[in-house]
Every structure is written in structure tokens, then in C-alpha cells.
Amino acid sequence: MATRLARASGRTVAAYDERVDGRRDRFRLVARLRQALGEGALRTHFQPVVGIEDRHLHSVEALVRWTDDELGVVAPDELVAAAEAARLIDDVGAVVIDQALGQLAAWDAAGRVVHRAAVNVSPWQLRGRKLESALEASSTWHGIGLDRLTIELTESAVADLDDVGTRVLHRLRDRGVLVAIDDFGTGHSSLARLRELPVDVVKLDRSFVTDLPGPVASALVTAFVGVASALGLRTVAEGIETEDQWSELRRIGCIDGQGYLFGRPAPGGDVLVP
Ligand code: C2E
Ligand code: MG
Ligand code: MG
């Protein structure tokens, strides 16, 4: 009906049609996600984080993966947005945390050295106690201390932290959890503001790395690394794909790096661990 009207009367109804379709798709996505959570169908992949200087893996970032029987591969961004809207993000987060700490325990048991895992955390997960309960439960179950975990929050999430979220972050840091700002440079906070935030690590967004080496990008990254190190923060460059980008980051003095050059996200068993 809407499509027929759209054909007759133009774009407004077509837009309405798209919104209805969009809502129906989201409804289906959420229903499938609920089922996937119930069946334990979400998987976590791990991407190496290496020292820029020696290119040795010392930690990993945990990234959620979902291939649904009906929907096919669902992109993490889409999954996370749907989970946030449907208030399922705590459950998704708990799965990723559990698989990440479980993987650290598996590597430990195999005599492989991976010091720490980073998990991405949505700002919604800082609104109550569920994140802390999930961390405690998985830490106890797998026998992995929380001082081996980093939580990554985007720049805007950290900038918008309310009192409750700030208290959660401080309690987690008291337990040894490190806090990283993800995708830094894409939001609105300034380098100076970093000083006031409860953070330990800054991850420089891929968009800056893509243009390396180049006069403007190199100047920006140099300034960024300089200020971050003056503030005592560890810097990670994201999205390193080429040897040239790597050598420029090394020249600049960035500490850690992550990107397809060193390894793509993969199931824990497929990650090449020292
Ligand atoms: P992110 O945390 O910034 O993760 C890095 C993204 O960049 C990942 O995309 C990774 O696969 C991709 N990447 C890594 N190296 C390269 C590279 O060299 N080149 C290019 N082009 N891309 C690279 P992915 O896995 O699709 O995840 C997208 C975003 O979804 C993540 O961005 C994160 O914000 C979110 N996300 C993923 N897993 C979770 C999760 O468990 N919880 C939450 N809340 N968010 C998650
Ligand atoms: Mg991240
Ligand atoms: Mg990032």
C-alpha cells in the first residue's frame, strides 16, 4: 500500500515506507539477537595489539562476531546499536567479557603469553552494577585477575560520563582495570581534557593513521603522541595497514599499534601468540 502510494505521490511516502521497513528489520534483528544470546551463538574474535618498536603481540582486543542462520553476518556496529536500543547490551557485553577472560585462561594454560585483553564497553553498560557483576563473575570463574583487562570507551562516551558512570570507572580502576579512550580524534574532547578523565590509554583513530606518512598527518600524530605521553598516557595507533605507516609511527614514538599489518581479528585459537 505505502509503496503504491509512494509511486503515485512522490518521496514522502517512500521515506515513510523505508522507515517502516527499517523498523521491521530492527524488530527482526532484535528477535534474532535475543535468540542468539539464549543459544550462546555470539563469538568473540581477537586482534593483536603489538609494541610499535618490536612488533611483538602483548595484548589483544576482543571484538564481537555474529553470523545468524537467517540474517547472515551481522556487522558489530549494527549488532551493538540494536543491542543498545533493545537494552540487551549488558548481555552482549557479558558474553564478550566472559569469552575474553576465558581465552586469556586458555592461553595461560597453553603457556602462551598474552598479558591483557581489551573489551569495548558501551556507555549504557556504565549505568548500573551489571558490568561490575559480569566482570567479577567471569574473573572468578576463569581465575583471571581484572588487572589483565582494559575497557575501551569511545571519546564521546567518556566526555558524557555522568556521576554514576564516573564512579563505576573509578571502582574498576581500583580493581586494576585499565581504561582506554577508543577512536580518539573523532569526537569533541580536546587533548587537554584528557588530564581530567579517568583514563590510562588513548587509541588514535584509524583516520589519522590512514594518511601517514604525510606532512599534515605526521604533524598531527606527533602532537598527539607528545601530549599523551606528557600526560602519562599510553598511545595505541589503530588501523595500521602498511609498512610505511608503521615506520612513521615508530619514528614518531607511538607505543603500541593494531591493524591488519600485524593481524586481523580471528578466533582465539587462530591468533599467533608467542
Ligand atoms: P573499534 O573498537 O574501534 O574496533 C576496531 C575496528 O577496526 C574493528 O572493526 C576492527 O576489525 C577494525 N580494524 C582493525 N584493524 C584494521 C585495519 O587495519 N584496517 C581497517 N580498515 N579496519 C581495521 P569491527 O570488528 O567491525 O568493530 C567495529 C566497532 O564495533 C568497534 O570499533 C567497536 O566500537 C564496536 N564493537 C565491536 N565489538 C564490540 C563489543 O563487544 N561491545 C561493544 N560495545 N562494541 C563493540
Ligand atoms: Mg575498540
Ligand atoms: Mg577504535
For the stretch 31-88, pLDDT in tens is 999 999 999 999 999 999 999 999 999 999 999 999 999 999 999 999 999 999 999 9
- Tell the residue nearest (CA) to atom 33 of ligand 1: 120
Nearest alpha-carbon partner for 96 in 73, 64, 126 = 64
Task: Scan for cell 607505543, then name that residue.
Answer: 255
Average pLDDT over every residue of 244-273: 96
Give the percent of the chain with pLDDT over 90: 76
Average pLDDT over every residue of 177-191: 84
d(CA 185, CA 224): 9
d(CA 258, CA 190): 23
For the stretch 123-163, pLDDT in tens is 999 988 899 999 999 999 999 999 999 999 988 888 888 88
| Residue 11: pLDDT over 70 | no
Residue 182 Cβ < 6 Å to ligand 1: yes
Residue 28 neighbours by CB distance under 10 Å: 14
Q: What is the pLDDT of residue 13?
A: 58
Residue 144 neighbours by CB distance under 10 Å: 20
Pocket probe for ligand 1: among 49, 50, 63, 122, the residue whose CB has the most ligand atoms within 8 Å is: 63
Pocket probe for ligand 1: among 120, 179, 203, 210, the residue whose CB has the most ligand atoms within 8 Å is: 120
d(CA 175, CA 73): 36
Give the percent of the chain with pLDDT over 70: 91
pTM (two decimals): 0.92
| DSSP calls for the chain | -HHHHHHHH-HHHHHHHHHHHHHHHHHHHHHHHHHHHHHT--EEEEEEEEETTT--EEEEEEEEEEEETTTEEE-HHHHHHHHHHTT-HHHHHHHHHHHHHHHHHHHHHTT----EEEEE--GGGGSSSHHHHHHHHHHHHHT--GGGEEEEEEHHHHHT--HHHHHHHHHHHHTT-EEEEEEETSSS--TGGGGGS--SEEEE-HHHHHT-SSHHHHHHHHHHHHHHHHTT-EEEE----SHHHHHHHHHHT--EE-STTT---EEGGGS---
| Residue 21: pLDDT over 90 | no
Residue 90 pLDDT grade (very low, low, confident, very high; cuts 50, 70, 90): very high
Residue 23 pLDDT grade (very low, low, confident, very high; cuts 50, 70, 90): confident
Q: What is the pLDDT of residue 9?
A: 46
CA of 259 to the centre of ligand 1 (A): 10
CA of 75 to the centre of ligand 1 (A): 10
Residue 80, all three cell numbers: 551493538
Residue of higher predicted confidence among 203 and 16: 203
The answer to whether the Cα torsion of 244, 77, 65, 135 is positive or negative is: positive
Residue 96 Cβ < 6 Å to ligand 1: yes
For the stretch 206-234, pLDDT in tens is 999 999 999 999 999 999 999 889 989 99
Ligand 2 ion: Cβ-proximal residues, 5 Å cutoff? 120, 152, 182
Residue 265 Cβ < 6 Å to ligand 1: yes
Ligand 3 ion: Cβ-proximal residues, 5 Å cutoff? 182-183, 238
Q: Do 68 and 41 touch, CB atoms closer than 8 A?
A: yes
Q: Please state, rounded to an integer, the average pLDDT across all residues of the chain.
A: 90
Residue 185 Cβ < 6 Å to ligand 1: no
| Residue 4: pLDDT over 60 | no
